[in-house]
Amino acid sequence: MSQESHKISTSAQEIVFDHVVKMYPNSATPAVDDLSLTVPAGEICVLLGPSGSGKTTALMMVNRLAEPTGGDIRIGGRSIRDLDPIQLRRSIGYVIQQTGLFPHLSIAANIATVPKVLGWDRKRTKDRVAELLDLVGLPVAEYGSRYPTQLSGGQRQRVGIARALAADPPVMLMDEPFGALDPITREHVQDEFLALHERIRKTVIFVSHDIDEAVKMGDRVAILREGGRLAQYDPPRTLLKKPADEFVARFLGADRGLKRLSLVRLSDLELTPAPDTGGGELPGLPGDATLRSALSLMVAEGADAVRVTGDGGAVLGTASMDAVRKAGAA
């Protein structure tokens, strides 16, 4: 077999957990118990659950930082057991909360670590570093020679993502990558990562204990419960509309209806034509505002509808409280 055939391709790959069990030595109960789920190629799967529900363990089994004690994991149809752990890890991007950047290396050198290990020449490495820093919005001319301490927390996470992407891996594993960021920075980096994902379409497994983050980031969300058992695996909308059981409903919270509204934008609604007066007496929102914002504004202003505006402030129509409620229940 040639050297190449041992490698995992760089295009996105499906990941399958097939009755995976992890029993740590000397523990009475499994950390992950009979986990089966499929992450389609190019999608983001969020593992969501309370502390100790086995999220990190499930993630670390994919790159064999933890070995499954039962079942199998397949990437692009190939069992991870048949892949060399070192090579496997090099072909999977891994991002953790404490970025793990080397403090004594410049940003450029940090990103170049994997290409170096892979034996890329100087030019190819240099070009790749510049390309990646550009991709995460940190131009190499300005940031390449800085050190990790000379960046903000959000910028460090972006470097962590760039470094994980260095070898163009088909799969990315992200363990609460934005957990240490303040809420505003976190929102920014989430938005950036989603925009980046639109372009690179890797298969991503993303661990979170934050429901809003999971609902925002996940094409599908897997809810794990104590003992590492899967409670539900569905797209966010389904999850919020039809929690599988009491545990999931409680975990998602009493405001899951509002969370559902945050998944729909005013521009997704069939708007009512604005009255001849232009609807100027109604509070206004842009079309890309969520139904959750619309509801909040109506409650705050004591209004029964909002005026929806498009690019350049043109009035697109109005959305009533009733229309918002119906869309949320759909």
Ligand X SMILES: Nc1ncnc2c1ncn2[C@@H]1O[C@H](COP(=O)(O)OP(=O)(O)O)[C@@H](O)[C@H]1O
Residues at the interface with ligand X (CB under 6 A): 24, 27, 31, 49, 51-57
Tokens of 224: 């794990």
What are the start-end ranges of the H helices in the chain? 55-62, 85-90, 107-111, 113-117, 122-135, 140-143, 153-164, 183-200, 211-217, 236-241, 246-252, 256-261, 291-301, 321-329
The entry of ligand X, Mg ion, none that residue 148 binds, CB within 5 to 8 Å by partner kind:
none
**Closest distance to ligand X from the beta carbon of 175 (Å):** 7
**Closest distance to ligand X from the beta carbon of 228 (Å):** 6
The entry of Mg ion, ligand X, none that residue 24 binds, CB within 5 to 8 Å by partner kind:
ligand X
Task: Indicate the residue among 211 and 327 with the shorter CB distance to Mg ion.
Answer: 211
Task: Indicate the residue among 69 and 190 with the shorter CB distance to ligand X.
Answer: 69
The entry of Mg ion, ligand X, none that residue 102 binds, CB within 5 to 8 Å by partner kind:
none
Task: Indicate the residue among 144 and 228 with the shorter CB distance to Mg ion.
Answer: 228
Task: Indicate the residue among 56 and 318 with the shorter CB distance to Mg ion.
Answer: 56
**Closest distance to ligand X from the beta carbon of 305 (Å):** 43
Q: Which residue is nearest to Mg ion (CB)?
A: 56
Task: Indicate the residue among 154 and 227 with the shorter CB distance to ligand X.
Answer: 227
The entry of Mg ion, ligand X, none that residue 27 binds, CB within 5 to 8 Å by partner kind:
ligand X
**Closest distance to ligand X from the beta carbon of 27 (Å):** 5
Side-chain half-sphere exposure of 63, counting CA atoms within 13 A = 23
Compute φ and ψ for 147, nearest 5 degrees: -105, 160
Task: Indicate the residue among 51 and 277 with the shorter CB distance to ligand X.
Answer: 51
Task: Indicate the residue among 97 and 185 with the shorter CB distance to ligand X.
Answer: 97
Tokens of 111: 């990103």
Closest among 8, 201, 207, 197 to 90, alpha carbons compared: 8
User: Quick one: DSSP state of residue 77?
Assistant: T
110 binds Mg ion (CB under 5 A): no
**Closest distance to ligand X from the beta carbon of 239 (Å):** 18
How many Å apart are CA 216 and CA 222, to the nearest integer? 13
The entry of Mg ion, ligand X, none that residue 5 binds, CB within 5 to 8 Å by partner kind:
none
**Closest distance to Mg ion from the beta carbon of 171 (Å):** 18
- Type of residue numbered 288: D
User: Are 226 and 51 in contact, with CB atoms under 8 Å apart?
Assistant: no
Compute φ and ψ for 30, nearest 5 degrees: -70, 150
Compute φ and ψ for 185, nearest 5 degrees: -60, -40
User: Are 22 and 54 in contact, with CB atoms under 8 Å apart?
Assistant: yes
DSSP reduced 3-state for 95: strand
Q: What is the pattern of x (binds Mg ion, CB under 5 A) and - over residues 15-54?
A: ----------------------------------------
**Closest distance to ligand X from the beta carbon of 210 (Å):** 13
How many Å apart are CA 144 and CA 123, to the nearest integer? 15
Adjacent-strand bridge partners of 171: 92, 203
Residue length of the chain:
330
Task: Indicate the residue among 55 and 202 with the shorter CB distance to ligand X.
Answer: 55
How many Å apart are CA 232 and CA 31, to the nearest integer? 17
**Closest distance to ligand X from the beta carbon of 281 (Å):** 50
Positions in 55-94 near Mg ion (CB under 5 A): 56
Q: State the residues that interact with Mg ion by CB under 5 A.
A: 56
